């Protein structure tokens, strides 16, 4: 906890002054977790279980942070020059921590993973992210100047949230035994895509933005979002299938919506109508799938 407190206090715009403290705090934090997993591995008398697997992953991440520490200590006088390299090393460390478990899987009992609880935690994280997005669009709603844009933006967010709820909460079978890597990794990208949409809405509010860039940002964000939630179709019950017809319909919806956005990008209302066509269309496909099992 001490390391976490120090680490949060190092977050600053003056990164070159804080990078050493941040790196040390991160290493203390990671090595503390390694010690805890080592104790568990000793109890299990094996490095082949979940504890041993976690130790391998954490030591690789620690090695990357030690590399960053080496660069910091031996280049203190030229830290401003090296700061970008060190920052990228930190980015690599974070990405390694996020995605290495997908490649170093280990052999352990899947029953130690509580799938329903894990789904609940990720649902909560996603709800919070959607909540932040809603807070981010509140400045669109001006009681003295009624416009259609705020309504369209709110409906886009609402239909995205509806698609997520139907897919993850209603269609996915929660009571199962899984390692859950697909669920975990897909939610990384779900959160990223929602935040990208929030950024896009901020650009709309700003007004001074390249509309072609805005259109591409929204399209990419939606592609990431829907691929991420639909990747969890592997957790459907056996009686539910995402058919080729469903996939074709989704692709067609994206093509029509994206084309509308790109052709009429200079008109924000039409651009957002194209966006809404994509989000409502996908919501409709998933809603129909949900109705089929009722």
**Model pLDDT for residues 72-84, shown as the tens digit of each residue:** 877 766 666 677 7
Please give the angle made by the CA atoms of 7, 34 and 192, to the nearest 5 degrees.
55
| pLDDT tier at 106, thresholds 50, 70, 90 | low
Pair 196, 221: CB distance under 8 Å: yes
Region 224-242: what's the mean pLDDT?
A: 90
pTM of the predicted structure, to 2 decimals: 0.81
Domains of the chain by residue range: 1-103, 115-292
Residues 51-73: pLDDT tens digits?
A: 777 888 889 999 998 988 888 87
Q: What angle do CA 130, 134, 135 make, to 5 degrees?
A: 115
- Tokens representing 36? 């805890």
The whole-angstrom separation of Cα 141 and Cα 154 is 10
- Judge whether 169 and 124 are in contact, CB under 8 Å: no
- What does the pLDDT look like over 152-201, one tens digit per residue? 999 999 999 999 999 999 998 888 777 778 888 899 999 999 999 999 98
Q: Evaluate if residue 267 carries a pLDDT over 80.
A: yes
* pLDDT of amino acid 71: 82
- pLDDT value at residue 219: 95
The predicted pLDDT at position 235 comes to: 87
pLDDT value at residue 255 = 96
First to last CA, the chain: 47
């Amino acid at each position: 906890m001490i390391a976490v407190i120090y680490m949060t206090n190092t977050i600053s715009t003056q990164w070159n002054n804080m990078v050493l403290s941040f790196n040390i705090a991160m290493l203390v934090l990671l090595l503390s977790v390694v010690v805890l997993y080592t104790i568990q591995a000793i109890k299990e008398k094996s490095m082949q279980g979940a504890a041993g697997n976690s130790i391998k992953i954490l030591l690789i991440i620690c090695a990357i942070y030690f590399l960053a520490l080496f660069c910091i200590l031996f280049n203190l006088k030229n830290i401003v020059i090296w700061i970008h390299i060190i920052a990228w090393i930190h980015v690599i460390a974070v990405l390694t921590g996020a995605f290495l478990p997908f490649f170093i899987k280990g052999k352990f009992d899947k029953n130690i993973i509580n799938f329903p609880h894990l789904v609940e935690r990720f649902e909560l994280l996603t709800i919070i992210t959607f909540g932040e997005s809603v807070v981010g669009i509140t400045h669109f709603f001006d009681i003295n100047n009624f416009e259609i844009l705020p309504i369209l933006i709110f409906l886009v967010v609402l239909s995205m949230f509806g698609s997520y709820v139907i897919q993850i909460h209603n269609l996915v079978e929660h009571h199962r035994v899984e390692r859950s890597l697909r669920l975990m990794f897909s939610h990384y990208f779900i959160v990223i895509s929602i935040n990208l949409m929030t950024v896009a809405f901020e650009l709309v509010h700003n007004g001074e933005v390249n509309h072609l860039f805005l259109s591409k940002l929204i399209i990419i964000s939606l592609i990431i979002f829907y691929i991420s939630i639909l990747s969890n179709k592997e957790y459907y019950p056996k009686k539910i299938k995402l058919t080729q017809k469903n996939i074709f319909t989704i692709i067609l919806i994206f093509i029509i919506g994206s084309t509308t956005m790109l052709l009429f990008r200079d008109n924000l209302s039409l651009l957002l109508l194209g966006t809404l066509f994509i989000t409502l269309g996908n919501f409709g496909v998933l809603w129909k799938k949900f109705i089929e099992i009722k």
